[in-house]
Every structure is written in structure tokens, then in C-alpha cells.
Amino acid sequence: MALTPVAASGAPADLDAAERAYRAFMIALGLDADHPTIVDTPRRVAQAGLDLFRGLHADPVRALGGGEPIEGVYPGPVVVRDIPYSSVCEHHMLPFKGVVSVAYLPDRMLAGIGDFDAMIRVLAARPQMQERLADQIAQTVVDTIGARGVLVVLSAEQACMWARGERTVGSEAFSVSSRGVYDSDPVQRAEARSLIGL
């Protein structure tokens, strides 16, 4: 599975260094970092960063759990729709948020419905790109429960769009990632897309 570049380092967080760096960043932008209303901002941003990127040292496979065995072949897809998430775009360190829907065709294991939320929260709590996030969710389902097919649809409202540049408000981007039969069988893929609501 492709990891977020920073996640691969395994380096522990250094709150004091983050605080110093953000203070220097504020000063470089021309702000008075000693002004009473923002003097504590570097520490607050550093602490927020710890929370925003808490998924860097967590395992999404463990979050999804080991799954529950089923007898024989499960007859049809399982769909979990509209799981909310939020993340931070690695390009500008601005937030994006939306919902994730997952359809999977089980082989021998079923995942707990609530465990999808935990797994998605781990993967989203890293510097991300929405396309990579969709891909990582699909791969985690395959790695954890060996599904015969996985289809992930992820929507995103990007602060990169509405908070900077042209400030385009109200746009939404979609990313789709698939594995197994949902890559190779157009009939099953169409069924999964329909169940997700595409």
C-alpha cells in the first residue's frame, strides 16, 4: 500500500520544534508573533497538528479488525455508505472533508460495519491527497479481509479550492478506487456503483 511520504519515516512528533517552526512561519509572513491575540497561536497550531496527523503512527489494518469468518461464499456485496471524514491536503496543508462509501464482495471474511469508520479515520488523519486516500481504503479492505472486490467512492470539499486562489465555493470532487472483480467485471462493477449511488 502506498504510504503518505511522511508516515514512512516513523519519526516521533516534536511539539516544541513544531511550535518554534510555526512561530518562525508567522514572522516570515509579516505577523507580530508577540501580539497578545496570537502569542499562543504557535503552541495551539502545534497541538492541533498532533491531532490532525494522529494517523501517522496508527495501523489502518488493525483499525478495521480481523474480520468475522463466514461459511461458503457470501452471496452478494456489502455496502457501507456516507461515512464522514476530514483530512488535510498535503499540498497546502489545508483541510478537506466529505463522505466515503465502500462496497465490497466478501470472500471468507466480513468486516464490522463500525470498523470502517475507525479505519477511514486512521487513513484520513495523515497529510493526504483524496485520490490516495480512496486507494488506501480499497487496499486496506483487500489486505484485511481478502475481499473478492472492493469499490470506494470518496467525495471531497477542498479548502484548497474555496480558501485560496480563485476561491471557488461549492465545488465537490470525487475519487473512485477499485480492486478485484470490481476492476475486471463490468456487470458487478455497475451493480456496486448503483448500490453506492453513482
At 132, which CATH number? 3.30.1130.10
The pLDDT > 90 percentage for the chain reads 72
Strands 149-158 and 68-69: unpaired
- Domain total of the chain: 2
Position 8 scores a pLDDT of: 47
65 shares its domain with 122? yes
CATH number of the domain within which 13 lies: 1.10.286
21 shares its domain with 63? no
48 shares its domain with 63? no
17 shares its domain with 100? no
Task: Tell me the C-alpha distance between 136 and 165, whole Å.
Answer: 29
Q: pLDDT tens-digit profile of 132-159?
A: 999 999 999 999 999 999 999 999 998 7
Residue 97 domain boundaries: 54-196
176 shares its domain with 98? yes
pTM of the full predicted structure? 0.87
Q: pLDDT tens-digit profile of 34-69?
A: 999 999 999 999 999 999 999 998 999 999 987 888
15 shares its domain with 92? no
101 shares its domain with 149? yes
Spatial contact of 125 and 54, defined as CB atoms under 8 Å apart: yes
- List the one residue out of 54, 46, 55, 50 whose CA is nearest residue 3: 55
3-state SS, one letter per residue, for 127-175:
EECHHHHHHHHHHHHHHHHCCCEEEEEEEEEEHHHHCCCCCCCCCCEEE
